[in-house]
Amino acid sequence: MVRLLKYFKEYRFTALMGPFFKLLEALFELAVPLVVKLIIDNGIGTGDKAYCLRMSIIMVLLGFAGFVFSIIAQYFAAKSAVGFAANVRGALFKHFQSLSFSDMDRVGTNTMITRLTSDVNQMQNGVNMGLRLLLRSPFIVFGSMIMAFTQDVQAALIFVVVIPVLSVIIFGIIGYTIPKYKQVQRKLDRVLGLTRENVNGVRVIRAFCNEENEQEKFSEANDGLKDLQFKVGRISALMNPLTYVMINAAIIFLIYVCGLRVNAGHMSQGETFALYNYMSQILVELIKLANLIITITKALACANRVADVLDMKPSMVSGDIELVFGQYAENACPVPAGDAEGAETDSVTGSKNEALKVPAVEFEHASIVYSEGAQEALTDVNLKVYDGETVGVIGGTGCGKSTLVNLIPRFYDTTSGSVKIYGRDIKTLKLESLRENIGIVMQKAVLLRGDIKSNLLFANEDAGRKDMEKALADAQAASFLGIDEDDSAGSEDGLMHAVEQGGNNLSGGQKQRISIARALVKKPKILILDDSASALDYATDAALRTAIKNLNPKPVTFIVSQRSSSVQYADKIVVLDDGRVSGIGTHEELLESNAIYREIYYSQVSSGQAKGQGR
């Protein structure tokens, strides 16, 4: 919790005012038994009704003042707690944005959601209750004991015995329950994960009639959480009965001792009532303290979990070089005049003179392992891509296609080798600068709640209406939105088409086309389409590729696809097999030389058509 105190910085004043006003309230509360004593001894004992009235008015004023100070204290405590929680939640969200994909894979989505919601809420409750009662309750307990000694020393010795015994009970239970509450939160992560998985995959679960199995899995996790909460709850529940027993036993003994001393003339009846009230105050405050400690115990467990995430250092560090596309290309070596015919053929690309240029994107012995002890997802990849080229990436499922293109925007870092932009290792480039020049469409099309326009502006907030219309037209999305570049009213209606959360009101193909338009409106220097046309028919896919080919200026384009038809007209096709490059070349070259590509191609087209196109 100490590590999170910096998020109290702007609420230091209100955080101090909460306990301060609570202590003022406590002072008035400690004064009430003294007034009662005076009423009994000096008013009732002597039959002075006027004195009793005056003291009663004073007691009412004390109660009213305590009530006002209590309201003020609760206001400051609530304001501090809510502000602190907001700061922590904001810091967590910002920290999540700084983590690499590898870090997020390691932490887990469910854990991040739990930290951001349940854990922060528990911390907010703990801070709120702590500011109100953490100082007040001990102050009342020890204040009551001190005030008891001002009434009668011998009778007050009972307080000296009772309070340490109660402290042992309370703190013993705390010491047992703190680790258990950490386990409760971990099990809550598991329940949340299963819930999220089932909600997102409800259609698949029902399609395979697997509801019973999922219910059993959820019940098992939920019962585990319930059993642990029952176990911790039983121990925590002992706190109130044990404190009640101790305090009530002390009260009985106190009344007995005071009765003897009153009969002996060493104490007045008013002092007996004052001691009884102070013991009752201790009982009430210890009950409050017991409940407070349970709340704070949960809050501390959650605070440690939140602090552990905030202490996690991002595994990916941004470089310090600003990327300006083309500035490195100007330093490329031109092909000497007269040497064109004698230039050697590049063994990687199969074309002459490319070896003399600076590649726009270059993979140099790039390898990556996702997690420690796992096999390499990519192994020793060497690839050079030049300005304006379109590169197709194809291969079997799980061969590393998405991994390859995810290395370019540094979603993941290579474990060996490097990826370069115009000869610069991307690890030396500023992440923001790098990603500003890259437009990427993921395998799963994700749209944000709002409308088409807001989703497009998400990529380029400075885009004009014509830019958005052009991007939608190139992405083959204009037709189903009713957008016509010559019809301004129709265009505006189409751009304001509502998008529900996750794009649930759109079909798979529509979501993919809008996602592609979002990447195009950015006018990227590098365009990555990661199996982003899988839901499109062949005609729309072909029209999309034609539109991308005719972009001006033309970006370096990577097309990842399972379809050979989507990549066959690319300048280069990279064939991956189990994380290794099986071949690089044009469609015709790979049909002749690469068995894997040939198998993929012939499996997707009829034999006659394939042979005809092969010729």
287 in the same domain as 413: no
DSSP helix, strand, coil percent of the chain (3-state; round to 5): 65, 10, 25
296 in the same domain as 389: no
For residue 325, the model assigns a pLDDT of 63
For residue 373, the model assigns a pLDDT of 57
Residue 182 lies in a domain: yes
295 in the same domain as 412: no
Indicate if the alpha-carbon torsion angle 492, 493, 499, 504 is positive or negative.
negative
Which stretches in the chain have pLDDT values below 70?
A: 1, 325-356, 372-374, 483-493, 606-615
139 in the same domain as 31: yes
Domain count of the fold of the chain = 2
Residue 17 lies in a domain: yes
Match 């050979």 to its residue by tokens.
564
Instruction: Tell which residue, 273, 29, 251, 299, has the closest CA to residue 139.
Output: 29
164: Cβ contacts below 8 Å, ≥ 6 apart: none
Question: For residue 484, what are the β-bridge partners?
Answer: 487
Residue 476 lies in a domain: yes
498-548 residue pLDDT tens: 888 878 888 888 899 999 999 999 999 999 999 888 888 888 888 988 999
Among residues 310, 334, 359, the one where a domain terminates is: 310
305 in the same domain as 171: yes
Cis peptide before 553 (omega within 30 of 0): yes
Instruction: Tell me how far apart the alpha carbons of residues 364 and 165 are, in angstroms, rounded to a whole number.
Output: 70
For residue 85, the model assigns a pLDDT of 92
Residue 433 lies in a domain: yes
Helix (H, G, I), strand (E, B) or coil at 600: helix
Residue 360 lies in a domain: no
Question: For residue 527, what are the β-bridge partners?
Answer: 439, 557
198 in the same domain as 78: yes
Inter-residue contact 570 to 392 (CB < 8 Å) = yes
CATH number, domain containing residue 46: 1.20.1560.10
CATH number, domain containing residue 397: 3.40.50.300
294 in the same domain as 409: no
For residue 5, the model assigns a pLDDT of 81
Ramachandran category for residue 518: left, alpha or beta (phi over 0 → left; psi -120 to 50 → alpha) = alpha
298 in the same domain as 395: no
**Structural domain for 141, as ranges:** 2-310
431 in the same domain as 306: no
Instruction: Tell me how far apart the alpha carbons of residues 545 and 532 are, in angstroms, rounded to a whole number.
Output: 11
406-428 residue pLDDT tens: 999 998 889 999 999 988 899 99
